Amino acid sequence: MRNVWLIAKRELGVYLRTPAGYLITAGLLLLDGLAFNVFGVGSSPKLSSAVLQDYLYFAFGLTSVAAILISMRLIAEERQTGTLTLLFTSPVKEHEIILAKFGSALVFVTVMNLLTIYIPLLIFVNGKVSIGHIAAGYLGLTLQAATVLAIGVFGSAISWNQLMAGVVTALIVALLVLLWMVARVTEPPLNKIISYLALFQGHFQSFQRGILRVSDLIFYASIIFFALLASTRVLQSQRWR
């Protein structure tokens, strides 16, 4: 854990010492605010819970994009600049590198998301939504961010540069989000399996509605675990090449 903390601390420092972290945060806050005003509040009267659900719908997309932007550099940048050699020639295990990268990025995205908490609080103060609904929605956003980051770590591990890492991650995430379309045109029982894998329709929607289901938690945890495991295996194979 010592090495995980060391590497994670350095990673967090990158967000604070370079403009990238501030730019992504500013972008997310601006777009979340806009989405809330334009699509959440809108011009026609709505129930408070519908406003919150609409806001969470857009926050799902924006958080996913922010997580892709943050994760694309995690390993690919180290490979491009040659600093991966420093980690590879140190007594550090591959899973420690992966956990540190993932953990630091998750902390950063979570802090970013928490900065947007004023939006649901506005609904809470001026309307009628439960704290539980807000908490479930933000737990869903955090799990979504963690899933995209884990996939992003994998994309970054298999890519030679950051751009390629971003594209690979975006493609995998887009595929997982859009699987519900594939489920529509496939026969049972295959469509059930495919729709189970769909990120938004299959799992985030319940968080969006303020419902906490163990099956959704297990789904997100499984994707995160397998993406991180695959990333570790990729690093292990690259370390000796």
Partner 1 sequence: MIVVDRVTKYYGSACAVRDLSFSIEEGQCIGFLGLNGAGKSTTLRLLSCLLLPTSGRVTIRGLDVEESPDEIRKFIGYLPDTPPLYGEMTVEQFLSFAGRLRGMSADDVNHRMDEVLAVCALKEVRKKAVSALSHGYKQRVGIAQAIIHRPALLILDEPLQGLDPVQIVEMREMIRGLRGKHTILLSTHMLAEIEQTCDRILMLSRGRIAAEGSEEDLANRFGHAGATLELDVRGEADAVRLALEGVGGVKVTDVTATGQMLRVRVSTEGEVREEIAKRIVDAGLGLRGFRTSSAGLENIFVRLSKETESAPSAANAPAASEEAPS
Does position 134 interact with partner 1 (CB under 8 A)? The reply is no
Q: Which stretch binds partner 1 (CB under 8 A): 48-56, 88-96, 144-152, 169-177?
A: 88-96
Does position 233 interact with partner 1 (CB under 8 A)? The reply is no
Q: Within 10 A of 12 (CB to CB), how many other CB atoms are there?
A: 18
Closest CB 92 distance from partner 1, rounded Å: 6
Taking CB under 8 A as the criterion, the residue among 43, 44, 91, 125 binding partner 1 is 91
Residue 74: phi, psi to the nearest 5?
Answer: -50, -50
Angle at 99 between CA 102 and CA 148, to 5 degrees: 30
Does position 90 interact with partner 1 (CB under 8 A)? The reply is yes
Closest CB 2 distance from partner 1, rounded Å: 8
Q: Which stretch binds partner 1 (CB under 8 A): 76-84, 155-163, 170-178, 216-224?
A: 76-84
Does position 241 interact with partner 1 (CB under 8 A)? The reply is yes
Q: Within 10 A of 142 (CB to CB), how many other CB atoms are there?
A: 18
Q: Closest Cα to residue 134, out of 220, 210, 212, 211?
A: 210
* Cα–Cα distance, 12 to 201 (Å, whole number): 32
Does position 49 interact with partner 1 (CB under 8 A)? The reply is no
Q: Which stretch binds partner 1 (CB under 8 A): 11-19, 40-48, 49-57, 124-132?
A: 11-19
Measured CA to CA in angstroms, residue 144 lies from 68, 137, 207, 216 at distances of 11, 10, 10, 11
Does position 89 interact with partner 1 (CB under 8 A)? The reply is yes
Nearer to partner 1, 87 or 194 (CB): 87
Closest CB 17 distance from partner 1, rounded Å: 4
Q: Closest Cα to residue 166, out of 33, 64, 25?
A: 64
Does position 93 interact with partner 1 (CB under 8 A)? The reply is yes
Q: Closest Cα to residue 139, out of 122, 166, 120?
A: 120
Q: Restricting to residues 199-218, which ones interact with partner 1 according to CB under 8 A?
A: none
Residues in the chain, how many? 241
* Cα–Cα distance, 118 to 107 (Å, whole number): 19
* Cα–Cα distance, 66 to 217 (Å, whole number): 21
Closest CB 16 distance from partner 1, rounded Å: 9
* Cα–Cα distance, 116 to 132 (Å, whole number): 17
Q: Which DSSP state fits 211?
A: -
Closest CB 9 distance from partner 1, rounded Å: 9
Taking CB under 8 A as the criterion, the residue among 23, 26, 38, 86 binding partner 1 is 86
Does position 6 interact with partner 1 (CB under 8 A)? The reply is yes
Binding site for partner 1 (CB under 8 A): 3, 6-7, 10, 13-14, 17-18, 81-93, 239-241
